[in-house]
A = this chain, B = another copy of it.
Amino acid sequence: MELRHLRYFVAVAEEGHVTRAAERLGMQQPPLSQQIRALEREVGVQLFRRKPRGMEMTAAGRAFLEDARAILTHVDHAFAATRRTARGEQGRIAVGFTSSAPFHPFVPRVIRLFRDGFPLVSMAFEESGTTELVDALRNEKLDAAFIRSGAPQSSGLAVHHLLDEEMLAALPAAHPLARSASKPLTLAALSDEAFILYRRPVGPGLYDAIISACREAGFSPIVGQEAPRILSTLNLVAAGLGISIVPASLTRMQMDGVVYRRLKSDRKFVAPLSLAVRWSEPSASVRRFVDLARATAKTFRAERP
């Protein structure tokens, strides 16, 4: 039993006439007659009554016609869906991001654009620290992740740098350095402060960037507290336990008791935002997502140099 039997059966059922059905199928009547017979023998049921002027379906034939049509339609739909999947227009993508990434208007913008462009691709989201995201990528639990690392030393992953975000000092509102609103601070001015930093094993990217920048400014920062999430960091600053250095997009978070200050340094002090994916054979949907993110980043950077 093959699909051609179903195609032949449907044609004869719809025409009610073997010769006309054969024309429609582009073949001769006798073999079509024989194929219908073969089908009846295989099902073990008489599907048609032969009349002097055509064929009339039995009740069993009518029941089979419904199924035959549905099956042939399903085959067409299966082909189409498979092609859409291959083109990245359909499928599933699991995206992760660090806790600071969603504050940046870029990330929601990429997600919106992707959803608008590929409505048949279902998206799942996960928020975690960088280390966990990298593991999840490796384990194929996630397909892509927005992270704050410039270039983690992770084999099997491709990290696409998207953009850099200015880093600001986050100070307690009552801090003396919080008063001069218009003058950027030097890092050196913070050398005696207790720093509240994002926990390194969770977010190595930001941690390392801050340490490195302070080293370059001539001091090793006093780490007073480590916080498990970016929001905990700001909470501790608001409580007056110390200062921190955070990506500028965190200012979108109206946090009482925290004042943000720009930083002046010899080299632009920025936090990178990158998209990490596995090197090994990304699906077409993932490739589409990466391409869109990179194109959007390019546009974003052009809009605000």
Contacts and interface: CB of A to CB of B under 8 A. Distances in A.
A82 B70 contact: no
Contact of A75 (B4, B71, B83): B71
Contacts of A74: 67, 70-71, 74
Contacts of A284: 59-60
A285 interface: yes
Interface in A81-113: 81-83, 85-86, 90-92
B83 A43 contact: yes
A46 B86 CA distance: 8
Given A1-B3, A3-B3, A43-B79, A86 B60 contact: yes
Contacts of A46: 86
A2 interface: yes
Contact of A43 (B59, B71, B82, B92): B82
Nearest to A72: B71
A59 B1 contact: no
Nearest to A83: B45
A276 to B, nearest CB: 19
A84 to B, nearest CB: 8
B70 A85 contact: no
Contacts of A91: 59, 63
Contact of A60 (B49, B71, B82, B92): B82
A11 to B, nearest CB: 16
Interface of A: 1-4, 43-47, 49, 58-61, 63-64, 67-68, 70-71, 74-75, 77-79, 81-83, 85-86, 90-92, 281, 283-285
A-B pairs, top 6 by smallest CB distance, nearest first, are: A67-B78, A59-B283, A60-B86, A45-B86, A2-B2, A63-B85
